[in-house]
Structure 1
Amino acid sequence: MSKNHILAIDCGTQSVRALIFDLRGNLACKVRVPIEPYFSEKPGWAEQHPTYFWENLCAACQRLWQESPVPKEAVAGVALTTQRATVVNVNERGEPLRPAIIWLDQRRTEGLEPVGGLWGLAFRLSGMTETAAYLQAEAEANWIRTSQPEIWERTHKYLFLSGYLTYNLVGRFVDSVGCQVGYLPFDYKRLAWAKKSDWKWQALPMDERLLPDLIPPTVVLGEITPQAAEATGIPAGLPLIAAAADKACEVIGAGCLEPHIACLSYGTTATVNTTSHRYVEVIPLIPPYPSAVLGAYNLEIGIYRGYWMVSWFKQEFGLREEQLARERGCEPEDLFDDLVEAVPPGSMGLTLQPYWSPGLKFPGPEAKGAIVGFGDVHTRAHVYRAILEGLAYALREGL
């Protein structure tokens, strides 16, 4: 049988999707398995069991084979993309040592030794000391190392979710360069682990042996193991091709491959991205991220809790639509569209500032969300439209 299809797996924040495409990019079949983004044992924490992601990945693939008109024998290879900046500590057997810290987590590490030496002097002279300290405090590795030293001591590899799922699929501690988005000693300009002289090793003290080997996008990460084949239904021996993080895959999938073409992403984090073959820091010390295009970068501005706010609205104010959606067999979001159409542009003066989580540099870590302009004419529908308009204007400001 001709192998003329590709299996794509997308492990996002709110669902896991398994999709089959032909070689021209046409979608042949898609399965979506909703997941719980995280649980929270303390205010501001966001964690999830790594095995939960793996189990739902397996469930999505198994459902795909049942529903797809394309037989698995026609699949030539597999590509994996995941949510960014979710970290997993594993032992020598790839078994998680603690829950994964999800990218939405808000805990911070206080009392860390600031970056010193020539780097510290350079940061003071350039006025970037506060930014470097903020990045240190935000790094999950620093929190685990200082708050759970027994876990850190037992850690064999410190991986992003993409690296953990890759290990489960191919049995190797490797990851794609395109997935390296988060607080690790990664050199975003060189697209490789930072040199030992780099300040990031001071800010993020760790043994370089904790990190996986990095493979460029489009290169084979490994082959599907018999164990993974049994769990997922993916034929053993198929190559797993290095892809990139979810936002990078969105950018290339939308055809935004030049600096003058922007990709708007209405995801859990709402972003605007462009692709550049030149390294440019839109905000000093905040690097562009690796692109799915070899040797290129994605310049990104994001609203941290972007279209997550639709889920927030649904949970807090959308009980009526959720009940009606179950009766009609549709998604609640389809019914929310009716709310939008019932309200004129501008939401009759109701304005929303969409910073339910703060920004790094803009609008700043002290930012808060706000809804202003209420009058007696305003309803739930106005609030929902104000959410969409607030996000749109924030993204436009990023452009």
Structure 2
Amino acid sequence: MKNLILSIDCGTQSLRALLFDADGQLLDKSQVALDYVAEQPGWGEQDAEVFWQALGQATQELFSKRPDVVARIAGMALTSQRGSVVNLDENGKPLRRVILWFDKRRCFNFRPVQGLWALAFRLIGMTDAIRYFQSMAESTWIEHNEPDIWKRTSKYILLSGYLIYRLTGQYRDSVASQVAYIPFDYKKHAWASPSDWKWQVTRLRPEQLPELVVPGQIIGHVSAEAARVTGIPEGLPIVAAGADKACEVLGSGVSDEETAHLSFGTTATVNVLSAKYREAVRFIPPYPAALPGQYSNEIQIFRGFWMVSWFKKQFGFEDEAQAAKLGKSAEQILEERIRDIPPGSEGLVLQPFWSPGLKVPGPEARGAVIGFTDWHNRYHIYRAILEGLLYSLREGKERIEKSGAKRIRRIVAAGGGSQSDVIMQMTADIFGMPVERPAIYEASGLGAAMIAAAALGLAPDVQTAIKRMSGAPRRFEPNPTVHRTYERIYRNVYLKMYDRLKDFYKELHSDHT
């Protein structure tokens, strides 16, 4: 009986091949680590072939462990990191390394938006935001810095679309994967109309982009060449899923408009689904959800739980050495050190804008820590990092609610940081609401599998698949006394920090751009 689903999850740190049954049980997985090349500070690139070979290695290793399951696979789905772009020539060969989503290079030598769009942006005060978008568009940078490559670019696709191409031989991608500096209409979930300003900004042409497929539809079938490389059966149907964050929402058991999904990953996010188009931040669109026709309002903390890695690298060498001796992770050692530090880090408050972006609070923002005294140590800083991230996510949740969304009555948290009971309890205390942790850690891969299960007839619809496959979450209840402490700091200090520091941020920003 064909009742299993192969899910490919291509993340930032690894690519994973996951095997799920129709009840959401993870039967087995194989994982291949990924790295990146940084020729200059702030850059992030990798050869496209590395991702394809990682996919082949992961599936081959999975099938070598479980040869009995191959014949039972009904179909597969793929989810991937967002915003990583690939330039292909007319023969489908990569022209340069993939520019990864976290790459921060910027291009200032571009032609500004012309005509009526320029006038409209001036009237509504969006000129600076559009210039920022234009400076961050990888296509703009390539056109001005690598003109020969740009002239030879026949296809310009996201990493998800590239892997679909390698699996099927067709230039297609899911609607729910289109999160990047590309001419995508986030309201209509289609490529932008010919007159849209995004074509001017990105310098792209319609024929360079892939065909878009709605989540839950068959996007293609595994080719003979892909079957040879990966071991996946030739002709296996591939179901269009979505980007990693979009699939993580579903895989965490979230499918309604009254639940906020927190992602404690490299980029920390708060997501709320909606059947209506709403802008939590004016002129910044909601992303396409993995549920067809739905939107996902998302507030990002760009460097998010990457800040834990930053802290370990800058201050945690002693903790990492001790962790190695004790056979623990550095995070476990750090959590032991902060358990006895009172909520609020004894007056230390951190604003986690180490790497600001277009959305919130703005491109000029910087990180800040206030309240230092002579008794504070590095563990106070670590706890303040966690608290600052959670304050910011709470502010994002409230911003989404104020945009006209329904009141949030449930919170689910997933991603690497959610595996910590300390962080989960801190989340419940700061939000003042119960917080749930999904039963399965591989939430992005599971979300893709849920979409595939419905498409392949293993579940009557996606909503049923979500309920059946998500499992029983663990619930963390807020401590009322601790919440009162956090509420006072959040209202009286954290929410006021940005406005008080904004002018200083702008001054510092002008010195580095």
TM over 0.5: yes
CA RMSD of aligned residues (A): 1.9
Tell me which residue corresponds to 2:73: 75
| 8 Å CA contact 2:199, 2:205 repeated in 1 | no
Tell me which residue corresponds to 1:64: 62
Q: Which runs of 4+ in 1 moved over 6 A?
A: none
Match of 2:371 among 340, 348, 373: 373
Match of 2:284 among 286, 308, 312: 286
Q: Is 1:230–2:258 an aligned residue pair?
A: no
Match of 1:140 among 138, 141, 147: 138
Q: Deviations over 1:340-389 (max 9, x none)?
A: 32433222222221111013143211111123333333333222222111
Tell me which residue corresponds to 1:317: 315
Q: Deviations over 1:224-252 (max 9, x none)?
A: 12222222222221111100001100111
**Aligned-pair distance for 1:327?**
5.2
Tell me which residue corresponds to 1:363: 361
The structure carrying a bigger helix percent of its residues is 2
Q: What are the equivalent positions in structure 2 for 1:1-399 lying under 5 Å apart?
A: 2-36=1-35, 38-68=36-66, 71-326=69-324, 331-399=329-397
Tell me which residue corresponds to 2:496: none
3-state SS of paired residue (1:60): helix
TM-score, normalised to structure 1, is 0.94
Moved more, 84-93 or 315-324: 315-324
3-state SS of paired residue (2:259): coil
3-state SS of paired residue (1:28): strand
Moved more, 129-138 or 291-300: 129-138
**Aligned-pair distance for 1:31?**
2.9
| 8 Å CA contact 2:44, 2:100 repeated in 1 | yes
Instruction: Give the distance between the partners of 1:74 and 1:57, measured in 2 at CA.
Output: 20
Moved more, 307-316 or 85-94: 307-316
TM-score, normalised to structure 2, is 0.74
3-state SS of paired residue (2:122): helix
Instruction: Give the distance between the partners of 2:76 and 2:328, measured in 1 at CA.
Output: 30
Q: Deviations over 1:114-172 (max 9, x none)?
A: 22222222111111122112111111111111111100111111010101111111111
3-state SS of paired residue (1:336): helix
Aligned length: 397
Please tell me the residue identity of whatever aligns with 1:267. G
| 8 Å CA contact 2:299, 2:360 repeated in 1 | no
**Aligned-pair distance for 1:325?**
4.8
3-state SS of paired residue (1:57): helix
| Cα pair distance change 1:343/1:227, threshold 3 Å | farther
| 8 Å CA contact 1:85, 1:183 repeated in 2 | yes
Give unpaired runs (5+ residues) of structure 1. Answer: none
Q: RCO greater where, 1 or 2, for CA within 8 Å and sep 6 or more? A: 2
**Aligned-pair distance for 1:87?**
0.5
3-state SS of paired residue (2:123): helix
| 8 Å CA contact 1:356, 1:369 repeated in 2 | yes
Instruction: Give the distance between the partners of 2:341 and 2:70, measured in 1 at CA.
Output: 47
Give unpaired runs (5+ residues) of structure 2. Answer: 398-513
3-state SS of paired residue (1:262): strand
Instruction: Give the distance between the partners of 1:362 and 1:225, measured in 2 at CA.
Output: 42
Larger Rg belongs to:
2
